[in-house]
Amino acid sequence: MIHPGTGKPIVPDDLEPLFGHELIKQEFSTDRWIEIPEEVRQILAQWRCTPLYRARRLEEALDTPAKIFYKYEGVSPSGSHKTNSAIAQAYYNMKQGVKKITTETGAGQWGSALSMACSQFGLECVVYMVKCSFKQKPYRRALMETFGAQCIASPSDTTEAGRALLASNPDSTGSLGMAISEAVEIAARNEDTKYCLGSVLNHVCVHQSVIGQECITQMELADAYPDIVIGCCGGGSNFAGIAFPFIGRMLQGKEKIRAIGVEPSACPTLTKGTFAYDFGDTSHFTPLMKMFTLGSTFVPPGFHSGGLRYHGMAPMVSHTMALGLMEATSFHQLDTFKAGVAFAKAEGIVPAPESTHAVAATIKEALRCKEEGKSETILFNLSGHGHFDMQAYIDYHDGLVRDYVYPENEIAMALAGLPSVAE
Ligand SMILES: *Cc1c(COP(=O)(O)O)cnc(C)c1O
């Protein structure tokens, strides 16, 4: 990370006003393993290990020789993989005496996960929720409030950043970049308040790696090993969580895999973005990170997978992409919902709209295997269930879901505003 003012690398002290101390240490850590504290494990044990399933009925429906496995993170209390990092982040902040946590949420999964985690450790929680999701998903907000959190539609009039954004566009549907600006501002202004981020950063990817670690052991029990590992990509922690442990083995000279990150065609960060230093938020409060980006001022269209509407990609995932250790692909939302419905009919689980991207890529690979007569093994991360996203499914069944064209001009404009950094 680079300081936007000085152009110098960020040191841990620079982040202290915003993040918990132990989390900053993890952000900069080069340790191979970081022990999960006992108090965190006791809470994770409520739903971990998460199940690894063989999707036999989906295989049958597709008539494919491929073997399909999926890791199901929807069994967590808030319904997605995000709880893995939320518990750890709330715990380390509580340990250090922090009283209040601020954060942003897109579709509401991260806000729900962090609200739940804060309630476990007696912390106050304020969640800035992207305005279009706030309106689309009242049940997510109710869930956060049930856990005792305050949920505010962003952009809001509670911060300077929000007021400025509203002044320039009163009808703004919001974006993750905007909501981050608001949450960061509150944390920076208050001594007893810290900010938590639900994806993108190294420490979040580390917390999520429990997913892939468990998969390695579970695949062993199933006497199998994946040829292909698939995860959808919003900020990247979910993909990192399932894929990095396998990529790590590959780097140690063990089994080769293809790792595939899947993103929405309307927010195609890895497939169409630029690899450059950029801000993590719209109002430019954050350090610069080297990542695939569509430009920090790009506001993705209001498609249904709110958790995938981010302009950037985790620096670690971006680095992995730049090294050629993974591939990326994108799907339009009509195709992802079609895949999600096919999966639900076969396996009985309704995937979150974000997760349907991984399902679509899995089905595409399974059909390729059929065409080529190959029995490859595919593992994907079913990052969450869609029980709070049924309005999206209602819209799909009613024929109201449409594909957004790739917003080429807006992305070009946002990319033209990339900060210049001497490397
Ligand atoms: C947030 C979310 C994602 C995207 O996760 P990242 O770690 O930001 O890539 C995927 N699936 C679900 C269900 C989510 O809630």
My answer on whether 233 and 368 are in the same domain is yes
Look at residues 162, 177, 195 and tell me which one is the last residue of a structural domain: 195
My answer on whether 313 and 390 are in the same domain is yes
pLDDT of res. 423: 63
My answer on whether 350 and 266 are in the same domain is yes
Tell whether 18 is covered by a domain: no
My answer on whether 290 and 383 are in the same domain is yes
Pocket residue to mutate for ligand 1, from 73, 76, 80, 350, most atoms within 8 A of Cβ: 80
Tell whether 27 is covered by a domain: no
Q: Which string of DSSP letters, residue by residue, matches 201-224?
A: SHHHHHHHTHHHHHHHHHHHHTT-
My answer on whether 246 and 104 are in the same domain is no
My answer on whether 74 and 94 are in the same domain is no
Whether ligand 1 lies within 6 angstroms of the CB of 384 is answered as: yes
My answer on whether 49 and 137 are in the same domain is no
Look at residues 170, 195, 220 and tell me which one is the last residue of a structural domain: 195
My answer on whether 276 and 384 are in the same domain is yes
Identify any residues that bridge with 261 across adjacent strands, giving them in sequence order.
231, 328
Whether ligand 1 lies within 6 angstroms of the CB of 67 is answered as: no
CA distance 337 to 332: 9
How many A from CA of 16 to the centre of ligand 1? 26
Pocket residue to mutate for ligand 1, from 78, 103, 109, most atoms within 8 A of Cβ: 109
Pairing of strands 52-54, 258-264: unpaired
Tell whether 422 is covered by a domain: no
My answer on whether 383 and 276 are in the same domain is yes
Query: Nearest 5°: phi and psi at 379?
Result: -120, 130
How many A from CA of 308 to the centre of ligand 1? 7
Tell whether 6 is covered by a domain: no
Residue with tokens 């992802």: 336
Pocket residue to mutate for ligand 1, from 269, 354, 381, 388, most atoms within 8 A of Cβ: 354
Which residue's CA is the nearest one to ligand 1's atom 15? 109
Whether ligand 1 lies within 6 angstroms of the CB of 234 is answered as: yes
My answer on whether 258 and 279 are in the same domain is yes
Tell whether 343 is covered by a domain: yes
Tell whether 132 is covered by a domain: yes
Query: Could you read off the pLDDT tens digit of each residue along the chain, which spans 423 residues?
Result: 999 989 999 999 999 999 999 999 999 999 999 999 999 999 999 999 999 999 999 999 999 999 999 999 999 999 999 999 999 999 999 999 999 999 999 889 999 999 999 999 999 999 999 998 899 889 999 999 999 999 999 999 999 999 999 999 999 988 888 899 999 999 999 999 999 999 999 999 999 999 999 999 999 999 999 999 999 999 999 999 999 999 999 999 999 999 999 999 999 999 999 999 999 988 888 899 999 999 998 888 877 777 788 899 999 999 999 999 999 999 999 999 999 999 999 999 999 999 999 999 999 999 999 999 999 999 999 999 999 999 999 999 999 998 987 788 888 888 888 998 866
Identify any residues that bridge with 385 across adjacent strands, giving them in sequence order.
351
- pTM equals 0.96
CATH number of the domain that residue 237 is part of? 3.40.50.1100
Tell whether 28 is covered by a domain: no
Domains contained in the chain, number: 2
Whether ligand 1 lies within 6 angstroms of the CB of 193 is answered as: no
How many A from CA of 374 to the centre of ligand 1? 30
Pairing of strands 52-54, 67-72: antiparallel
Whether ligand 1 lies within 6 angstroms of the CB of 162 is answered as: no
My answer on whether 189 and 247 are in the same domain is no
Whether ligand 1 lies within 6 angstroms of the CB of 386 is answered as: no
Whether ligand 1 lies within 6 angstroms of the CB of 385 is answered as: no
Tell me the residue range of the domain where 385 lies: 40-79+202-415
My answer on whether 326 and 369 are in the same domain is yes
